[in-house]
Structure 1
Amino acid sequence: MKQFFLFLVLLSINSCQYFEKKVPSEKELLQKELKSINWKEVDEYPSVTNCDKITDKKQRQQCFFEVMAQLIQQKLDIDTLSILYPQLDTIEVKVTVFPNSTMKFEPQFPKDSVAYDTIKIDSILHARLVDFPKINPALKRGLPVKTQFILPVILKAKD
């Protein structure tokens, strides 16, 4: 009986090595996780209060883009861009939403933009595109991240 217990004790001490498994290092786990993340896409797109009730990701994104384009158009309708540059019917605006909910607007001009004064248009846009409602930034894994997108803004002709 003593020999049997001694045998069980020795067996249990030696058998621990059979249960050991290689534990990956912290760096290996981090690299594996970083490779699995799609950095080109966010989990949640930026949003405004009007779109917060929408649960579908694509519809919420579309709502945000529509609201932003409408707000930009409203702010530019009160200006003389369409009078100064009647040939300019649409302008593309690069919108950057930062993690702290601030925004930056940059007009995107075509390569053949010699027909109009890009510096003047840029200054008009920067003067008009202020005082936007609170924007909730995009989220990636629950953390706010910077996002950029280009919105086509239609300039309405003044009658």
Structure 2
Amino acid sequence: MNDFGAIDALLAAAHEESPLPDAAERRRLREGLALSRAQVAGALGVSTSTLAGWEAGRDPSGQTRERYAYFLDGAHTKLHPTQDPEPEAEPDVLVPDTSAIGDGPGNAEDAEEGEDVDVLAVAEPCVLCGEPARHRVAGYVQHLDPAE
């Protein structure tokens, strides 16, 4: 019998790079907030020429990419607020998942013993596929429901 637990753990821990909008949109977002390249570059800890390169199509990597994606996401949210505000909800509110235990494959019972499995009140992107998922296992959002 093969043990795939180590492979599953490795895949669950693998981090996907944050998505970035196209280069033209990156510049539009910065300019839409009336921010200079120097201001944004300073906040990100990079040079203005590096930021100019990103706005011309090059992509950052690692932690810098994470910070830049966070900035761009925040800029987009600020410039394009939702039309119908949803009721206030705490996105990090976790509810223990007791309903899935014993319901078949791909549920909380399959999680490694000792791992924390929580049901999210608000779906977050799955670490494996990026689609909305409602479970967090050992700190990583993922699908546990086979229907997802």
What TM-score does the superposition give when structure 2 sets the normalisation length?
0.22
Rg bigger for which structure? 1
Higher relative contact order (CA 8 A, sep 6+): 1
Structure with the largest fraction of helix:
1
What TM-score does the superposition give when structure 1 sets the normalisation length?
0.21
